[in-house]
Amino acid sequence: MSDLLRVQGLQKSFGTLQVLRDISFAVPAGTVTAVIGPSGSGKTTVLRSLNALDRPDAGVIGIGDVTVDFAGPIDRATLARFRAQTAMVFQAHNLFPHRTVLQNIVEGPIVVQKRPREEAVDDARRLLEQVGLAEKADQYPYQLSGGQQQRVGIARALALEPELMLFDEPTSALDPELVGDVLRVIKDLAATGRTMVLVTHEIRFAQQVADQVLFVDGGVVAESGPPSRVLVEPERARTRQFLSRIL
Ligand code: ADP
């Protein structure tokens, strides 16, 4: 299987704090990668680098046929093509409060991607069905539960038709009883062969859904491999220590 995502030598500092020292990994097409690690280890920064929300100081990221070397100058057209390869689902959904669910989903495709409205609306309804919210199309975000809002956030990201879906702790802001529905949607996406990278604290979920787990610590990928190894029989003491604290 070819790698959809290739990350080589990412570095990133905020002021004097070096968060990413040397991050390298690859994600084969059609697979799910879970990024785990201690709080503050740089997991979110890795994810945000993948669509240049955070600009790495150095390193190369290739997604599909777009490769960007962050050490050098990047022209705007390349950066736009790079960003269009991914869509991000944030911890909190960031929906527009004064727009309906449907309007929230079609905004990106119509305004940014200039797709015909009718086509965007048809796609949005199909995506709402996929996340189990077909009947909520005309409601406003405040009329939905946190879990439903987050599922709309997933539909909105899917509507951009990205090659790679990025999830930043998509359930961490939810009440425990709402987590399951969101995880189920992500699991369904995995079953359809979507390529995804997710930062998560849900270790059991990672075990079920991920093909690859990256343990990020000290600014590097300290350990990586299938969940059956990294989460069950980790080689490194740091990984064992981290898992024993959160499991
Ligand atoms: P994690 O997702 O593993 O909890 P983050 O990637 O969010 O870690 O953050 C890693 C470190 O970088 C933390 O110390 C955080 O405070 C710092 N950091 C993240 N974003 C910024 C920023 N925009 N400005 C300054 N420091 C930041």
124 to 40, 85, 131, 166, 208: CA distances (angstroms): 35, 19, 11, 19, 28
Roughly what angle, to the nearest 10 degrees, separates helices 146-159 and 176-191?
20
Q: Is 219 in the pocket of ligand 1 (CB under 6 A)?
A: no
Residue nearest atom 23 of ligand 1, based on CA coordinates: 14
Q: How many CB atoms lie within 10 A of CB 6?
A: 16
pTM of the model: 0.95
- Residues (pLDDT < 70) of the chain are 1, 93
Q: Is the CB of 45 under 6 A from ligand 1?
A: yes
**Ligand 1 closest atom vs CA 54:** 23
Closest protein CA for atom 19 of ligand 1: 45
Residue 224 sits at the vertex; the CA angle it makes with 222 and 227, to the nearest 5 degrees, is: 135
**39 pocket-lining for ligand 1 (C-beta < 6 Å):** yes
Q: Is the CB of 42 under 6 A from ligand 1?
A: yes
- Interval 234-245: pLDDT, tens: 999 999 999 998
Residue of minimum CA distance from atom 24 in ligand 1? 14
**pLDDT tens, residue by residue, 51-90:** 999 999 999 999 999 999 999 999 999 999 999 999 999 9
Binding site membership of 19 for ligand 1 (Cβ less than 6 Å): yes
- 90, 86, 68: which is closest to 77 by C-alpha? 68
Separation of CA 45 and ligand 1 centre (Å): 6
